[in-house]
Chain A
Amino acid sequence: MREAFSSSLVRLALADPAVLLLTGDHGYALFDQFRQKCPNQYINAGIAEQNMVGMAAGLARLGFRPFVYGLAAFIPIRVVEQIKLDIAHDGLPVVLLGDGAGFVYSHLGTSHQSTEDIACTRAIPGLEVLSPADRFEMQASMNYAAVARRPVYLRMGKADRGDVHSAPLASFQPGALLKVCDGRRDQPGLIATGSMVSTAMTVAEVFDLNVWSAPMLKPLDADHVCTASLESNGIVTLEEHSVMGGLGSAVSEILSEKNPTKVIRIGVQDRFSLHCGSYDYLLEEHKLTIKHVLQSIASLSESLSA
């Protein structure tokens, strides 16, 4: 998935000299290819994210197409106000790339972990939010971001969880849910995003469940969400992000209005990580492992059939 990300960047930059990659002194090996093939379009803005995002607004005003890269803990979290005021307020075509979202930096602690970025960006008017799950969704997301001509936040979380699709996406309709597992209609349906799609698929095999991937969280197609709820018995959302303001909230907002449905939100509770450890260890601490998700689904399934 990271390869899909960096090669997409190179492809877009070679195709359009107005594309500029701005990084806040991050992404060392990730941009080797970019620096080699498009050295003049690579700008290390230093450890100065606020200025970098403000500058991106200035560059976009002149017709450049800035892609602004940082860890999700910094882009967007550190610069929410610059995104709101300098970029989104005028709908400038800037692509914000937040890497390492969720618990990727499991050993480094809270400063490098990001479980509130979707909530913050979703609430900014006119800012779209992408959250690809695998290399195919990444490729489609990057292509979409490049042609969207409006502000986009692309969230990149744990990137080595394997493919959830078997081939490149034939099309990319903004806000669409992509069905990745076909299961029973009398069981809960799972809607997951990013790293949690593969978890959802593993769990779905056990219970024979429907699973949809949500590569785009804003906009989120209300008809698709309603259809998912009609094809399932209750909905479970899964995300490596707070249960407040992310995918679970977006799905609940739609269903509570359009097709009231029991929704269980699996994600990060209202707390920071306590301990340091491997990525899997952190998922365990936050009860986001396959084992925990299996338990949640089993109890929901039980309560729904009771």
Chain B
Amino acid sequence: MSSQENERPKLAFSPHALRRTVLEMAYAGSTVHIACAFSIIELLAVLYRGHLRYPDNQPDSDNRDYLVLSKGHGVMAQYACMRELGWINDSHITNYFKDGSELKGLSDSRIRGLEVTSGSLGHGFSVGVGLAFGLMRKETDQKVYVIVGDGEINEGPVWEGALFASHHGLGNLMVIVDQNGFQAMGSTDEVISLGDIAAKFDAFGFDVLSIDGHDEEAIDTGIRNLWQTPSSRPKALIAKTVKGKGVSFMEANNRWHYTRLNPDTYAQATGELDQARHLS
């Protein structure tokens, strides 16, 4: 889409600001799943900044690209981006989880900007495959990105969808695996070993690229390179990430799948983020 540059306001999507918003929400609502959101911050920042096309900044434009957050547990990261886009406002952030509030703890398709209702895992991937298949039938150049967690790919429908996507040559579909190495009850190695995720998607007929999921340039280049691969194969970007990335005591500490912030940890976490920004 040549006019793409004019269609989106120039926004920074700075990972620091996005993580700050996540903390603000999580503290306001006393919520869990902070670490699940932190591992996909850079992925979302790069996607919203330079890849996803929303004509006239409309999240429900018929001509948009689709971002399906199949790992609904990371939804606070997406809310943070949506705040920057102006699709939700500050009161959504400060009133998160208050009685009667709209934004839920997991992705809900009734919110403009969120494509699927997820959190029950393995659903968004199939919906994304359906979207990609439908867009291909419509012969548009719109693209579908599906973000799945590495724990999530324990779910069978993911592999059912992978077979279908490959068989039908859905070259407009990119699955992004947030490989943070943890799932609810422990590390993925402890719970159900996934082995070589890249090799698995390759074996299912995807074009695969593995990158550091916190290196924005690597993500950006990786996405471009995958789309430019001259094949009709669906794409898989395997993003090696750190669960809880950005706050030392949350990083690779699965307690932060479940733990809520208190005044001390909130101050510590925001302090660390701010300090890291000054140093960079």
B127 at the interface (CB under 8 A from A): yes
Check B157 against A51 for contact (C-beta < 8 Å): yes
Complex formed: what's the CA distance from A52 to B123 in Å?
A: 11
A142 at the interface (CB under 8 A from B): no
A53 at the interface (CB under 8 A from B): yes
Contact A90:B109 (CB < 8 A) given known A46-B160, A46-B164, A48-B164: yes
Bitwise, B42-77 to A at CB < 8 A (1) or not (0) is 000000000000000000000000000000000000
A86: B residues at CB distance < 8 A? 116-117, 123, 126-127
Number of B residues with CB within 8 Å of any CB on chain A: 28
Question: Which partner residue on chain A sits nearest B116 by CB separation?
Answer: A86
A89 at the interface (CB under 8 A from B): yes
B161: A residues at CB distance < 8 A? 48, 51, 54-55
A57 at the interface (CB under 8 A from B): yes
Enumerate A53-102 residues with CB–CB distance to B below 8 Å.
53-59, 61-62, 64, 81-82, 85-86, 89-90
Check B135 against A62 for contact (C-beta < 8 Å): yes
Check A58 against B128 for contact (C-beta < 8 Å): yes
A59: B residues at CB distance < 8 A? 130-131, 133-134
B128: A residues at CB distance < 8 A? 58
Bitwise, B134-157 to A at CB < 8 A (1) or not (0) is 110110000000000000000011
Question: Which partner residue on chain A sits nearest B158 by CB separation?
Answer: A51
Complex formed: what's the CA distance from A55 to B133 in Å?
A: 8
A61: B residues at CB distance < 8 A? 115, 127, 130-131, 134
Enumerate B73-129 residues with CB–CB distance to A below 8 Å.
109-110, 115-117, 120, 122-123, 125-129
A45 at the interface (CB under 8 A from B): yes
- Least CB distance, B6 to chain A, in whole angstroms: 25
Pick the contact of B130 from A48, A50, A56 — CB < 8 Å?
A: A56
Check B129 against A51 for contact (C-beta < 8 Å): yes
Complex formed: what's the CA distance from A64 to B109 in Å?
A: 18
Check A89 against B109 for contact (C-beta < 8 Å): yes
Complex formed: what's the CA distance from A48 to B131 in Å?
A: 17
Question: Which partner residue on chain A sits nearest B68 by CB separation?
Answer: A58
Contact A85:B123 (CB < 8 A) given known A46-B160, A46-B163, A64-B134: yes
Check B126 against A85 for contact (C-beta < 8 Å): no
A58: B residues at CB distance < 8 A? 126-134
Check B134 against A62 for contact (C-beta < 8 Å): yes
Question: Which partner residue on chain B sits nearest A87 by CB separation?
Answer: B127
Complex formed: what's the CA distance from A61 to B157 in Å?
A: 19
A53: B residues at CB distance < 8 A? 126
- Secondary structure call for the A interface: helix
Check A54 against B163 for contact (C-beta < 8 Å): no
A90: B residues at CB distance < 8 A? 109-110, 117
Contact A51:B160 (CB < 8 A) given known A59-B130, A62-B138: yes
A64, A85, A90 — most chain B CB neighbours (10 Å): A85
Complex formed: what's the CA distance from A56 to B133 in Å?
A: 10
A48: B residues at CB distance < 8 A? 157, 160-161, 163-164
Question: Which partner residue on chain B sits nearest A79 by CB separation?
Answer: B157
Check B164 against A50 for contact (C-beta < 8 Å): no
Check B117 against A54 for contact (C-beta < 8 Å): no
Check B129 against A55 for contact (C-beta < 8 Å): yes
B138: A residues at CB distance < 8 A? 62
B122, B132, B134 — most chain A CB neighbours (10 Å): B134
Bitwise, A24-64 to B at CB < 8 A (1) or not (0) is 00000000000000000000011010111111111101101
Question: Which partner residue on chain A sits nearest B118 by CB separation?
Answer: A85
Contact A82:B130 (CB < 8 A) given known A45-B164, A50-B157: no
Complex formed: what's the CA distance from A85 to B120 in Å?
A: 9
Question: Which partner residue on chain A sits nearest B140 by CB separation?
Answer: A62
B135: A residues at CB distance < 8 A? 62
Complex formed: what's the CA distance from A57 to B15 in Å?
A: 32
Complex formed: what's the CA distance from A61 to B163 in Å?
A: 22
Check B126 against A50 for contact (C-beta < 8 Å): yes
Complex formed: what's the CA distance from A55 to B135 in Å?
A: 12
Complex formed: what's the CA distance from A57 to B70 in Å?
A: 14
Check B163 against A57 for contact (C-beta < 8 Å): no
B116: A residues at CB distance < 8 A? 86
- Least CB distance, A90 to chain B, in whole angstroms: 6
Complex formed: what's the CA distance from A64 to B137 in Å?
A: 10
- Least CB distance, A20 to chain B, in whole angstroms: 8
Question: Which partner residue on chain A sits nearest B130 by CB separation?
Answer: A58
Show 21 A/B contacts (Cβ-Cβ < 8 Å), sorted by A. A45-B164, A48-B157, A50-B157, A50-B160, A51-B126, A51-B160, A51-B161, A53-B126, A54-B127, A54-B130, A56-B130, A58-B128, A59-B130, A59-B134, A62-B131, A82-B157, A85-B117, A85-B123, A86-B117, A86-B127, A90-B109
* Residues on B facing A (Cβ under 8 Å): 109-110, 115-117, 120, 122-123, 125-135, 137-138, 156-157, 160-161, 163-164, 167
* Residues on A facing B (Cβ under 8 Å): 45-46, 48, 50-59, 61-62, 64, 81-82, 85-86, 89-90
Q: A54-B127, A62-B135 are in contact. List 15 more A-B contacts (CB 8 A).
A: A45-B164, A46-B167, A51-B157, A51-B160, A52-B126, A54-B125, A54-B126, A55-B127, A55-B161, A55-B164, A58-B127, A58-B131, A59-B131, A61-B134, A89-B110
Closest 10 CB pairs of A and B: A58-B130, A54-B126, A55-B130, A51-B160, A48-B160, A62-B134, A58-B131, A50-B157, A58-B127, A51-B126
